[in-house]
Amino acid sequence: MSRKRIALACAAVVVGAASVAVPVAANAGEDGGLGAACRITEQSTAWWASAEVSVANKGDRPVRDWTAQFELSQGQATIDNPWAYELRQDGKRVTVKPIADRADIAAGATRAVKVGINPAGKAVPKVSGCKATGPGSGSGTGTEAKVPADSGSFVKDHTAVHLMWKPPAGAADTDRYEVFQNGKQLKTVTGTMTDVEKLAAGTRYTFKVRTLRADGSTSGFSKDIVLTTHAAPGQDAAKPVIPADLEATASGPYQASLRWHPATDDVAVTGYRIYRDGTRVQEADAKTDSATVSGLTPSTAYRFKVTAVDASGKESEPTREAGVTTAPAPGGGTGGGGTGTGTGAGAPGDFTATTSTKQDGPVTQHYLNLAWSVPQNLGQITTYQVYLNGKPAQTFMWGTATPVLPVPTTKGTREVLVGSHPGTTYTVKIRARLGDGTWGAFSRELTVKTGG
């Protein structure tokens, strides 16, 4: 498929004590009806900054599968909405892409993406080399809008995987899906998820899906879904080699940035565990060599170490400890880590729940849109559990899917499908699995009713 480059206008503003505005060389333009701009926001400081990327669709068709990129002078980038966008940073190069069909740009519309930046107190960052690509620049001719899209497939264990996908635009409720494994048709299913079992341990598999319509015609194939099963128990004989050269730097008053050299294993490294002052506080994906630990106290000394974990659960010996002291809180003092109005220790605060609907062919599906403040000073929180009408209904996990989504550190959001019945009342509450592995207290419980 042809992909056209789109010029983006870029500007940076330096803000802070005794600072001046510094413009960055920029270019701008339109190509095929799709234009864009990127900039560092005016509220940015040497401790925390943000960039804004805006993509405008001036064509007459929706745009899907666009990509925006820019060079970041220094710092670590994060995405404000990890459920709609994927962010990757390779050195100074930052890439932002929509996830499945969650960030389409309608004809005549503009989509603004907020990118958080942690510059570690060195300077206000700058952006340069901005560019973007799009499928046909909004012409609607790309096949991405006509095929299923991966939606969080994952490995279950050493013999099974779970495949999930989004139906293509215009799919009917009578459509089925053909699942292929390593190029051979495996099964036909009626839903948008399935388990594949009886696989070989420690083996890489490639899956893809296509739509089988009621008239017998088929869509194009989805992008490859590549998954590697875990090693069988006892198959992985050795512990991973220790990660090397751990470095820790303070990232302002409330967090620290860690970086290490990747570990190796006789089968495969599946992740890393991060310890703060001897207590495990969070985990990191096997593909990364860095992490940000949040919820720290200003003007406080901490010591960190990292271990590697393999597919059989074996953990390496820890790295040497790396020490760091956080910066003072703005205005002095030790600051605070509380967030909102939870109902107990570790409870998600500022919990809200609203309702919305989406069309699934002729069926109107009802959703609960949940939002909450992330509990602070309790380690990295990657897992939340939702209760509906007093019973566990769904568990959300960050940092486990492919691609790995950034873990929210201040505000979390998620939508929950509750069915096609209008006028139904639900009670809903949420709790978090804290950094030490225990469950925190529940948020306040809310009562909501789906639309009529």
Mean of the pLDDT values across residues 418-423?
83
Domain formed by 244-325, architecture: Sandwich (2.60)
- For residues 19 and 370, give the distance between their C-alpha atoms in angstroms, rounded to a whole number: 40
Mean of the pLDDT values across residues 127-136?
71
Q: For the segment 305-317, what is each residue's pLDDT rounded down to a tens digit?
A: 999 988 777 889 9
Is pLDDT at 139 greater than 80 in this prediction?
Answer: no
Mean of the pLDDT values across residues 41-53?
83
Mean of the pLDDT values across residues 77-85?
74
Across 145-154, 248-257, 306-315, least confident range: 145-154
Are 232 and 201 contacting, i.e. CB atoms less than 8 angstroms apart? Answer: yes
Write out the two tokens for 204. Answer: 């890489």
pLDDT band (50, 70, 90) for residue 25 = very low
- For residues 57 and 65, give the distance between their C-alpha atoms in angstroms, rounded to a whole number: 13
pLDDT band (50, 70, 90) for residue 140 = very low
Ranked by mean pLDDT, the top range of 286-295, 398-407, 417-426 is 417-426
Q: Which CATH number fits domain 3-138: 3.30.1330.10, 3.40.50.300, 2.60.40.290, 1.10.10.60?
A: 2.60.40.290
* Topology (CATH level 3) of domain 147-228: Immunoglobulin-like (2.60.40)
The backbone torsions φ and ψ at residue 207, rounded to the nearest 5 degrees and listed phi first, read -115, 155
DSSP 8-state assignment for residue 122: S
Q: 403: cis peptide before it, omega within 30°?
A: yes
Q: Class of the 349-449 domain?
A: mainly beta
> What is the radius of gyration, based on Cα positions, of the chain?
23
pLDDT at 136: 37
Is pLDDT at 374 greater than 60 in this prediction?
Answer: yes
pLDDT band (50, 70, 90) for residue 286 = confident
- For residues 305 and 296, give the distance between their C-alpha atoms in angstroms, rounded to a whole number: 16
pLDDT at 180: 93
**DSSP string computed for 401-426:** SSSPPPPPSSEEEEEEEEES-TT-EE
**How far, in whole angstroms, is CA 383 from its chain's centroid?**
13
pLDDT at 437: 66
pLDDT band (50, 70, 90) for residue 16 = very low
Answer left, alpha or beta for residue 421, where phi above 0 means left and psi between -120 and 50 means alpha.
Answer: beta
- For residues 425 and 420, give the distance between their C-alpha atoms in angstroms, rounded to a whole number: 13
Percentage of the chain beyond pLDDT 70 is: 79
Going from N- to C-terminal start, the domains of the chain cover 3-138, 147-228, 244-325, 349-449
pLDDT at 232: 76
Write out the two tokens for 351. Answer: 């919990």
pLDDT band (50, 70, 90) for residue 304 = very high
Is pLDDT at 373 greater than 70 in this prediction?
Answer: yes
Mean of the pLDDT values across residues 361-384?
84
Tell me the residue ranges of DSSP E strands in 152-224: 154-155, 161-166, 176-181, 184-189, 193-196, 204-212
Q: Where are the alpha helices (DSSP H) in 83-182?
A: none
Is pLDDT at 320 greater than 60 in this prediction?
Answer: yes
pLDDT band (50, 70, 90) for residue 97 = confident
Is pLDDT at 6 greater than 50 in this prediction?
Answer: no
Mean of the pLDDT values across residues 418-433?
87
Across 45-54, 175-184, 312-321, 333-342, least confident range: 333-342
Shortest CA distance to 335 belongs to which of 436, 410, 255, 408?
255
Are 261 and 322 contacting, i.e. CB atoms less than 8 angstroms apart? Answer: no
pLDDT at 246: 92
The letter for the amino acid at 67 is T
Residue 17: other Cβ atoms inside 10 A: 6
pLDDT at 172: 77
Same fold, 3-138 and 244-325: yes
Q: For the segment 168-220, what is each residue's pLDDT rounded down to a tens digit?
A: 877 777 788 999 999 889 999 988 889 999 998 888 899 999 888 877 778 88
pLDDT at 197: 92
Residue carrying structure tokens 């393999």: 310
Is pLDDT at 141 greater than 50 in this prediction?
Answer: no
